[in-house]
Chains A and B, each alone.
Chain A
Amino acid sequence: ELVLTQSPGTLSLSPGERATLSCRASQSVISNYLAWYQQKPGQAPRLLIFGASNRATGIPVRFSGSGSGTDFTLTISRLEPEDIAVYYCLQYGVSPSSPWTFGQGTKVEAK
């Protein structure tokens, strides 16, 4: 069973600061089939990044994804107030027994 571990659990930052969120997989993620989502309270998740590094339609350029194999990163270059949210990584398709798996989330809060 593939497990995604996100760190840190909580990130406290001021507007304009850089946010670096990590997602580590217990086994290699096939073809970098990894996505990142943003979720605000009371809302459904919103797709930010797919294929580890491809920005979804309409996502600001301050959001970027990188990584391969077992280590992936979501970077917010300059934090905006509207970026306060919980961020989840998702792997899709590593194995039949773990086809879709989410990380436990990283909360980005205002400092």
Chain B
Amino acid sequence: QVQLVQSGAEVKKPGASVKISCQASGFTFTGHFIHWVRQAPGQGLEWMGLVNPYSGGTNYEQKFRARVTMTRETSFSTAYMELIGLTSDDTAVYFCARERGPVERESLAEGFFDLWGQGTLVTVSS
């Protein structure tokens, strides 16, 4: 079955860090970029960045660049997103999503997300 399965909900204190996993199955993990998108309670979707599972290369939204690290472990077909220096503003559901196009893409014609994880709720509270 083609799917992305994320790790469970987390509760963190301000200043702490969180690391969320996203395990892929049913497709070639190293063949597609994995993106991370978050959604604060009652709010819209916000793109955070991506990891290239083949090379490990990353591209982060400027807003998160100082605090986020996206990695992957190919032997486990798993992508990770770590966010440090948490504040209450980081309380959100975090999604991983697969980009349709291949990692060796020459254009972004297939740059949309066609497969999503179920989401991981991160609550930051003292």
Q: Is the interface of A mostly helix, strand, loop or mixed?
A: strand
* Cα–Cα, bound, A39→B113 (Å): 13
Instruction: For residue B44, give the distance in angstroms from its CB to the closest CB of chain A.
Output: 5
The answer to whether residues A45 and B116 also contact, given A88-B44, A88-B45 and a CB cut-off of 8 A, is yes
Instruction: For residue A36, give the distance in angstroms from its CB to the closest CB of chain B.
Output: 9
Task: Name the contact of B114 in the complex, choosing from A33, A47, A103, A105 (C-beta under 8 A).
Answer: A47
- Contact in complex: B111, A100 (CB < 8 Å): yes
- Contact in complex: A44, B116 (CB < 8 Å): yes
- Contact in complex: A33, B108 (CB < 8 Å): yes
B residues at A contact (CB < 8 Å): 35, 37, 44-47, 59, 62, 95, 97, 100, 107-114, 116-119
* 6 residue pairs A–B, Cβ–Cβ below 8 Å: A33-B109, A44-B119, A50-B114, A97-B62, A99-B59, A103-B44
